[in-house]
Structure 1
Amino acid sequence: MSDDRILLADIGGTNARFALADPAAEMPLLVDSVEGFAVAEFPSLAHAARHYLEHTGARVRAGVFAVAGRVDGDEARITNHPWVISRSRLRTELELDDVLLINDFAAQSMAIPLLREGDIAVVGGAAWRPAQTRDGSDRTYAVIGPGTGLGVGGLLVRDGRHYPLETEGGHVSFPPGTPEELMILDVLSRQFGRVSNERLICGPGLVNIYRALAEIAGEDPGPVKPADVTARAAEGDPRANRAVDVFCAVFGAIAGDVVLTLGAWDGVFLTGGLVPRMLEALRHSGFRQRFEHKGRFSSNMARIPSVAVLHPHAGLLGCAALAQRHFQANAA
Structure 2
Amino acid sequence: MSSSASSHTLLADLGGTNVRFGLADCTQSDPLLHDTVRRYRVKDFGSLAEAIRQYHSDTGLTAKNAVIAAAGRISDGETVKITNNPWSIAAHKLSDELKMDWVHLVNDFAAQSMAVILLKQNDLVPVGKLALPDIGAHQEQTFCVVGPGTGLGVGGLLVRDGHCSVLQTEGGHAGFAAHSPEDIDILKYLNGKFGRVSNERLICGQGLVNLYDAICAIAGQKPDDLLPEDITERANNNSDPICVRTVETFAGIFGSVAGDLVLTLGAWDGVYLTGGLIPILLPWLGRGHFRERFEAKGRFRDIMEKVPTQAIMNPEPGLIGAAALAVIESGRPILAERRR
Q: In which range does the TM-score fall when normalised by the shorter chain?
A: over 0.9
SS of residue in 2 equivalent to 1:135: coil
**Match for residue 225 of structure 1 among 224, 227, 233:** 227
1:98 aligns with 2:98: no
Deviation at 1:137, TM superposition (A): 2.8
1:189 aligns with 2:191: yes
What amino acid maps onto 2:60 in structure 1?
A: G
CA contact (8 A) 1:113 1:134 kept: no
Deviation digits for residues 143-172 of structure 1 (CA, Å, limit 9, x no counterpart): 100000000010000111110100000001
CA contact (8 A) 1:3 1:58 kept: no
1:13 aligns with 2:52: no
- What are the ranges of 5 or more consecutive residues in structure 1 without an aligned counterpart? none
Deviation at 1:3, TM superposition (A): 2.5
Q: Distance in 2 between matches of 1:266 and 1:285?
A: 21
**Match for residue 124 of structure 1 among 104, 128, 133:** 128
Match of residue 111 from structure 1 = 115
Q: Distance in 2 between matches of 1:273 and 1:254?
A: 17
Q: Distance in 1 between matches of 2:144 and 2:74?
A: 19
Superposed, 1:194-209 pairs within 5 Å as 194-209=196-211
Q: Distance in 2 between matches of 1:136 and 1:170?
A: 28
What amino acid maps onto 2:274 in structure 1?
A: T
Match of residue 152 from structure 1 = 154
Match of residue 163 from structure 1 = 165
Deviation digits for residues 232-266 of structure 1 (CA, Å, limit 9, x no counterpart): 11221110000001000000000000001011110
1:327 aligns with 2:325: no
CA contact (8 A) 1:245 1:285 kept: no
Match of residue 266 from structure 1 = 269
Q: Distance in 2 between matches of 1:75 and 1:186?
A: 36
What amino acid maps onto 1:16 in structure 2?
A: V
Superposed, 1:172-321 pairs within 5 Å as 172-236=174-238, 237-321=240-324
Identical counterparts, % of pairs: 51
Deviation at 1:104, TM superposition (A): 0.1
How many residues align structurally?
A: 327
Match of residue 37 from structure 1 = 40
CA contact (8 A) 1:126 1:302 kept: no
Deviation digits for residues 278-328 of structure 1 (CA, Å, limit 9, x no counterpart): 111100140000001111110101011101011110000000000011023
- What are the ranges of 5 or more consecutive residues in structure 2 without an aligned counterpart? 333-340
Q: Distance in 2 between matches of 1:77 and 1:321?
A: 23
Q: Distance in 2 between matches of 1:296 and 1:136?
A: 26
Match of residue 84 from structure 1 = 88
Deviation digits for residues 23-74 of structure 1 (CA, Å, limit 9, x no counterpart): 0101100111111011000000111011101111112110000000000021
Deviation digits for residues 101-120 of structure 1 (CA, Å, limit 9, x no counterpart): 00000000000111111000
Q: Distance in 2 between matches of 1:285 and 1:54?
A: 48
Deviation digits for residues 73-108 of structure 1 (CA, Å, limit 9, x no counterpart): 211011111111110111011111011100000000
Q: Distance in 1 between matches of 2:220 and 2:248?
A: 20
CA contact (8 A) 2:146 2:153 kept: yes
Deviation at 1:220, TM superposition (A): 2.0
What amino acid maps onto 1:202 in structure 2?
A: C
Aligned-residue CA RMSD (Å): 1.0
Match of residue 24 from structure 1 = 27
CA contact (8 A) 2:136 2:159 kept: no
Deviation at 1:222, TM superposition (A): 3.1
What amino acid maps onto 2:189 in structure 1?
A: V
SS of residue in 2 equivalent to 1:20: strand
CA contact (8 A) 1:23 1:328 kept: no
SS of residue in 2 equivalent to 1:64: strand
Task: Report the TM-score, using the length of structure 1 for normalisation.
Answer: 0.97
Deviation at 1:136, TM superposition (A): 5.1
